[in-house]
Amino acid sequence: MKLSIILPVYNVEKHISKCIDSLLNQDLNFKDYEIIIVSDGSKDKSEEIVNSYCNNYNNINFLSYTPSIRFMSL
């Protein structure tokens, strides 16, 4: 990879398609680039939308992080 674009997302279903489309439509001088999208446990349809892009573009990678909630007692 010559260029990696890392895009952190959280509950952005209204904007994520426009953002990804904008990145894909850039006139980059890099022939080999990737878009890495990292979700921090989105509760909306952001991950579903990103997965549809991943299925259509080989240069888009998706990482989903589900935070673990731990309770502390005294």
Cα–Cα distance measured from residue 42 to residue 4, given in angstroms and rounded to the nearest whole number? 22
List alpha helices for the chain, DSSP H: 16-24, 46-56
- pTM for this structure? 0.82
pLDDT at 68: 62
pLDDT at 28: 77
pLDDT, mean of each 10-residue run, the chain (74 residues): 90 97 86 91 93 96 80 61
Report domain extents, the chain.
Answer: 1-11+31-67
CA angle 39, 41, 70 (to 5 degrees): 135
CB-based contact 35:20 (threshold 8 Å): yes
pLDDT at 65: 84
